[in-house]
Structures are given as structure tokens and as C-alpha cells.
Amino acid sequence: MPSNSFWSTKSVLVTGGSGFLGRSVVAALGARGAGRVFVPRSADYDLREVSDVRRCLADARPDLVIHLAAVVGGIGANREHPGEFFYENAVMGIHLIEEARRAGVEKFVTVGTVCSYPKYAAVPFREENLWDGYPEETNAPYGLAKKMLLVQSQAYREQYGFNAIYLIPVNLYGPGDNFDPASSHVIPALVKKCIDARDSGSPTIEVWGTGTASREFIYVDDAAEGIVAAAERYDGGDPVNIGASFEVTIRDLVDLIVELTGYRGEVRWDATKPDGQPRRMLDTSRALERFGFSATTPFRRGLQATIAWYEAERHLLARLGVR
């Protein structure tokens, strides 16, 4: 059970706290009675600049930092912006961890990415296999930038005794996700594609790849619960997977989203486009053992909630005249 006594005296800085995952993490902290939660806005603090990081920490005066801020996107965005994705993700984390240490922060929680795992890692991915090969090429710059923060966290623990922990969430989904086709991940991209085609009467939709690749997905509120549980109860140097312990092929995922959105047309697969990593599924036993976390939201129910949110949101925007 969550310990309100732990959180009631804590000042918490949540970078990326106004983003998709961040909003759920901030809500989970609020439910636990966190004493003060500071969410920096990019307009006020550019976390790529060390001076802004220092000013952010001085303003927030945190006991605990949860670092969620990231430059992210799907396969297309990763292919178009590899340098940007590497530099900005690396530099934000490096500055934050160093300046948090210098400022005397008690604990630092870095949220990494499943994209750090080797392209051909044995399934399910176990934390001890994180260094067994190079990541899948389309998102390797992003994955490696995030993985360097694990190296930094472990080095700082060894040299300075800095309590920095590192979590590896699998692909997220849920209400409030990014549905912009230029940068969205697979679930929101497919939901939007199916609903747009349904409403326009389009006889076909096109999906990248062959459909044979597999993925694991965790509902955003479950991921937030795992992160907050680790922030409260885990103080080790080993990385920890945060997942939902299931695997679905992209073809089966498309079939399910087609069903749930009510699209009646044909799905055409463009095999000239990349599948991405062949398989993704995490071994989540360490999270259960170290801080008692396991995901609870059934995938179908989570997808239904995601689709319902998007349907309501797009109708609201249409009424306001926003496209």
C-alpha cells in the first residue's frame, strides 16, 4: 500500500510532468499526499541548458526528482531526427543528474526506455541482458542516449553515494496520448487512422510493415503507479523493467483496433516500410520482487478507454473549431 507518511513531507520535481505520462505520475503523487509537486514548464526552463537546470532546482528545492522529460516519437520521427533525439535526451539527463547531485537531492528517478534493449534480445527482455547487443537501428540514438543515463546513475552511486534509480518502461498507451500522425506511437496512430477512415468511408487503410513484429504495452496509469512505487520503495542500483507481462503482434493489434473503432474497410500492409524491433516483451519479475509492482489494466479495457477518450476529445475540438 502507498505510504502517505513518506510523501507528505516530500518536495518532488517532475520533469515532463505536463506530458502524457507526467500527468498520470503527478496525479498518483497527489493521491498519495505529496507535500509539494513542482512541474517545470519548457517555456520557463530549458532543461538542455545547465543554467536553466540549476535555476529549476533552486526554485523547486526538491527532495526527490522524477525525470520524465524526453524528446520522443514513433519510427518515422526517430528516422527523421536521430541527432536531435540523441542530443536532447542525453544532455537533459546528464545535466539534471549532475546538478541534482550538487544540489543535495536525496533521490533521483530516471525513466528510461525499452528502446535501449538490443535488437535481438531474448524474449522476455531481462535487465541483465541490457548490454548484450546494439538496439534496433531506427531508434538506437534515442535508446542509447537514455541508456547512458543508467551508466551515469550507477557511476554516481559508486563514486558519490547518490541514490539514483533507473526504470525501463515498455510502450505506453492510454487517454491523453499523442495522436499527431507525424510523431505518434503505434496505438494512437492506428486509432486515429481507423477512426478517420471509418468516418470518411475510406475502403482501405495502409499500415507500415508486415504485422509480424510484436509489442508489449502498458496502460499509462499503471506505468505511473510503477514509477511512484519505485520512487517510494526502491533504492537499488540495478535497472528495473516496468511492463504489463504480455505480447501482441502488430497484426493482432490492428485487428483489435479495427474491431473496437468499428472500421469496416480493408487493411493493406506496406512491407517496404520498417517493422522496427522484431519482438518486445519485458520480464517484470524484478519490479514485483523489489517494490511490489504489477500492472492491473486489461489490454482490451485500456484500448476501449483510449479510443473513447480520443472520440470525445476530437468531437470537443471540432465544436470549438479546432482541427
As a whole number of angstroms, the distance between CA 114 and CA 282 comes to 8
CB atoms within 10 A of CB 113: 23
Residues in the chain, overall count: 323
3-state DSSP assignment of residue 282 = strand
Phi, psi of 67 (to 5 degrees): -95, 105
Partners of 37 in beta bridges: 12
For residue 142, indicate whether it is catalytic.
yes
The answer to whether the CB of 20 falls within 8 A of the CB of 220 is: yes
Residue type, 175: P
Q: How far is CA 224 from the centre of its chain?
A: 10
Handedness of CA 30, 36, 42, 44 (dihedral sign): positive
Give the ranges where the chain is alpha helix by DSSP (H).
4-8, 20-31, 50-60, 75-80, 82-103, 140-160, 186-200, 220-233, 250-261, 285-291, 299-319
Phi, psi of 212 (to 5 degrees): -85, -20
Residue among 45, 142, 219, 263 flagged as catalytic: 142
Residue 159 cell numbers, joined: 563514486
As a whole number of angstroms, the distance between CA 215 and CA 223 comes to 16
**Three-class SS string for 11-38?**
EEEEECCCCHHHHHHHHHHHHCCCCEEE
CA angle 182, 178, 119 (to 5 degrees): 70
CA angle 112, 175, 84 (to 5 degrees): 40
Residue 6 cell numbers, joined: 513518506
Enzyme catalytic residues: 142
